[in-house]
Structure 1
């Protein structure tokens, strides 16, 4: 019985090309090494002694750089190709991580974070386009899910190990690990994967795709992006306000916070691929799955209103994890399914920009509300945003149903 279940689990990972597996490997290496970001707000507040307002401002520069980088990465992927963008982004951002540890003043840190994120986040839309180039049409969502699994497996190892590094040698050790892993990851990619000039990801030969003249005329896509933005604002609380809340409300150490984040990564690693395979096998509507993900994430934030029992943090993480498994792989897939041929980079750039904007708003809104009204007000406000995102998803779903009737 156990052997059969294990075999069925392994079957979910069959059918991928060699390039997809290499992309998955370098994503894992890169994500496992990205230890600075989950602890960035704590580093700024506790090590550099920045105020909440200053932390929020740095995070605005973080998100702004991410938005610019996402747009550039998508635009350039459509012109000079994803391959060159991926190599440039990881190599240079790896070197910049080495430099970042020596920047201590508020003004220069804002500038440095901005430049770093512009270069680092050029990688994301380029990587999405590369999946379109190297994945078989029937494996699109599963290929996205496989890469997400690598991200979450790295995410499971990274924060706990990062917490130990902080307790052992301090935050500086994280910058060295981040930089080295970026460079190692892209060298593996450069040596083992050859550039593919043409992406056959989406065209008229693959029925069911929506061909729109311009991304700016795709009303359904923009409503979907608005919902995605609100999901991102809620989710990024895990990396901005929640780690500090752990310490201030429940006196958790960095290692304990890392373990909670590790719980998220481990559950996603073991459950997301079977879940995605099951949903695809039974042809559930992707947008409906995304809507349920938004609702579950809303519940996870409302759970934090219980502030007298530390066990609620585990329950909250469980709800957040299931919400993440519903929301993110199918959001990526839905965004790519709306992109016409030769506009994949632009569609995915705007999609990744929505998360970058979410990072800006998540940190600034969260820290501003906490500074003025406290944590409880923040969790209530974030939950309200989640309910709004759920309603936007339902609106987009109804418009899609009308769109299908017109075909």
Structure 2
């Protein structure tokens, strides 16, 4: 019986499907059998091309609407849990629930993941800030975008059709699509948990007109585990697999353009860009990276420390170390020591030119330079030494952004309370007389009452 064959220049294997005789097509079931067989073979090759493009995980789902997920998303937006992320609107929620609308005649969606790993984190130290692991290296938008461009070109060369890729910025519910495709499952920390890399992955999608065989969703959930809910120091997570972004440290340090609410400043600890706590305590997220009894016990100690900190039983800057296992993440996400434990004095005085140079090509550029200075002030209020007093006063008196000046005042109030230095309060009173901005004056007045 004759066959139809297809291959790609980058693939050494020829995939073949037996061609049915014309009489066979009188039976619609036979047509579907052949079509399904072709879809399965094509799907296998698609996954191979995705691996060749450098992705760690490649799964396939349909482009059908996400009705249930869309309703949840819309309710979340209606409750205002997105904070001041103005681009997240009810209209965007509705559009995101219809992924096929992003490409005419879309039939399938390929979900991909690139691991960035759970690498060692330097232990907390005075005057050092913390940055979320995903931002240590190259901006994931650039890294995934480059690979998705290669992947989409390979698909077009092999099968024709139309393909459109997305990384976190388009009207798609990437986590819902990843869960539908079986790439992972939802965690109570609202991340997608994968079998091989935990939640330490970045997600992307290709919407395609190809008729591909979808993978089976993973029928998993977190059961009775609620470690992430308990460990979140700001109470941003609830038991119903939902997050209130307005309380999330990542949101507060990256997206929030205003003053950080007083009730969350202590809980932020040394974080200046993002947060990893809800991942670092998650058993399915950590398990691939923890080997041996010693690593397991260390991780358990870390979980207990995070939970004590969340309940105010210890300082939020409790020393923390990641596991000692080898990094399983992509090399592009490996950063430098300066990004893993940033010098808070340097960050507090960061100029725009320094900002552009130091964080070129990284996700840290998502936050404005003044926001990083604001975050540094909060971190110094939490973990700063006596040496932080002079830089904070310099910021309070000279920074051109009133929010930075205000947060520097708060940090000085915290240090005055912790160190017991009356000179700080006297200097704050003198600064109050010269401050013209109402918001900064309010912060100074509040700092004097700490």
- Shorter-chain TM-score bucket reads under 0.3
Kindly name which structure, 1 or 2, has the bigger radius of gyration based on alpha carbons: 2
Greater length-normalized contact order (CA 8 Å, ≥ 6 residues apart): 1
More strand by share: 2
Normalising by structure 2, we get a TM-score of: 0.26
More helix by share: 1
